[in-house]
Amino acid sequence: MKLRLAIVGAGPAGIYAADILLKHERPFDVSIDLFDHLPAPYGLVRYGVAPDHPRIKGIITALREVLDRGDIRIFGNVRFGEDLTLDDLKKHYHAVIFATGAVRDADLDIPGIDLPGSYGAADFVSWYDGHPDVPREWPLEAREVAVIGNGNVALDVARILAKHADDLLPTELPENVYEGLKASPVTDVHVFGRRGPMQVKFTPLELRELGELRDVDMIVHDEDFDYDEASKTAIETNKQIMVIDRVFTQWRQRETGAASRRLHLHFHAKPHEVVAGPDGRVAAFRFERTEADGAGGIRGTGEIREVPVQAVYRAVGYFGSPLPGVPYDERRGVIPNHEGQVLQVDDQGGQLDDIMPGVYATGWIKRGPVGLIGHTKSDAMETIGHLVNDQASWWSPEDPSEEAVTALLEERGVAWTDLAGWHRLDEHELALGAAWTAAGHEPERVRVKVVDRVEMVAISRGE
């Protein structure tokens, strides 16, 4: 028999799941269709990572090699729940894996967080990465900005805000983003973390990149580096923490004051309130000073401080979104599952122990927004292992032929994009970069990302 499998989500999680299944020892043939609501593949690698991270190109190269083998069909620009429903999938497939990730901002429950001038980092990342479903313009009007969070996304946001726009030109930065950042009046970006500098969630590489920004002073505060015993032990026993400490030590010895922009790192700073000005917009960020509690955590000191800012970005984590007809855990922002097998819920949304036949999950929508690419691969292996062993409980589709789903999409007037279409769009973006360079502009640009969805679809479909 042949397994007809649908995978919803064409980011790393979905592509790795398809690849692992195709390489898995199994007593049946496989035919995989990969669906995504965006016209282009790669998900968060294309639309969630800062454009000045060249190592991401290596990940895209690996993903592209999987797709270019030609044994996985891609259907881009297909919205699950609108263009294609769970009932449709049951009619044409034996099973489905949801790999839709987590792209919303997690909430931060402090007074003033919803003031005008306060933003979610995920929305800003989508803007500077040229996501087709966000507005073309972003209100970059603040001179002083607060970024709340101590993970890699917080550092990405801070770096993009502080970096001079011309230094981003060698990347695939969309033209509208370049123009917006070029006009930004920003002078100071403040990054706030609740814990100490040895308890950060970002990597040494991310931290080191901050210190390499042209015409940007790195500002750290000596009071944050009075280490407790736990921090000292971490430096001695953890190589990553040792490198992070070394970077901070170098920064503390630097001369500052000559740069036109400053990037401030504040530790032991627990978010307390976003303060409104007379116009009702963000005017300051207020935080409570914390200290180590001697047990590996922190406690508040009761000391409240305030920094004047005109914009706030919260980068405190991502959160998954519910999918029509699919169980959802509102507290964790994931599809409830047992090792990738989706669990059913009762009428009140309570999780049951019963497996939902034919429905699986992998990636961040399975486990939450933690871990790197390596975790995504192991995640997919676990899910695929269950899928292969669950043959007796797969769906029994009415028409599992490969032509059935294309006929359905055509009947509904869905302008889907395929692998050949992605190649056309890819070549078009590279040509835009080449044209920029050929016109004598500097620096050279390898790619200029197309942002408008209608234009993306038209190029992909050869229209």
**242 Cβ partners below 8 Å, 6+ apart?**
235, 236
- Number of helical (H) and strand (E) elements in the chain, helices listed first: 15, 18
Tokens of 85: 């429903």
Q: What is the pLDDT of residue 348?
A: 62
Angstrom distance (rounded) from CA 66 to CA 373? 15
Tell me which of 130-144, 371-385, 429-443 is least confident. 371-385
Tokens of 139: 């209100």
Q: What is the pLDDT of residue 205?
A: 86
Read off the pLDDT of residues 253-312 as tens digits, 9 standing for 90 and up.
999 999 999 999 999 999 999 999 999 999 999 999 999 988 778 999 999 999 999 999
Angstrom distance (rounded) from CA 395 to CA 400? 10
Q: Does domain 104-318 have CATH number 3.30.1050.10?
A: no
Read off the pLDDT of residues 164-209 as tens digits, 9 standing for 90 and up.
999 999 888 999 999 999 999 999 999 999 999 999 988 898 899 8
* % of the chain with per-residue pLDDT over 70: 97
Q: Is 165 exposed, middle or buried (0-12, 13-18, 19+ CB in 10 A)?
A: middle
The answer to whether 345 and 321 have CB atoms below 8 angstroms apart is no
* Mean pLDDT across 394-408: 97
CATH 3.50.50.60 residue ranges for the chain: 104-318
Q: What is the pLDDT of residue 378?
A: 87
Classify 240 as helix, strand or coil: helix
Read off the pLDDT of residues 372-400 as tens digits, 9 standing for 90 and up.
676 788 889 999 999 999 999 999 999 99
Residue written as token pair 């980092």: 121
Identity (one letter) of the amino acid at 232?
K
Whole-model pTM: value is: 0.93
CATH 3.40.50.720 residue ranges for the chain: 2-103+320-416
Helix, strand, coil distribution of the chain in percent, nearest 5: 35, 25, 40
The answer to whether 108 and 276 have CB atoms below 8 angstroms apart is no
Residue written as token pair 């090699």: 65
**Residue 349 scores a pLDDT above 70:** no
Does 89 or 1 have the greater pLDDT score? Answer: 89
Read off the pLDDT of residues 85-102 as tens digits, 9 standing for 90 and up.
999 999 999 999 999 999
pLDDT category of residue 15 using cuts at 50, 70 and 90: very high
Q: Does domain 2-103+320-416 have CATH number 3.40.50.10710?
A: no
Name which of 289, 316, 198 is nearest 249 in CA terms.
198
The answer to whether 333 and 320 have CB atoms below 8 angstroms apart is yes
Q: What is the pLDDT of residue 34?
A: 98
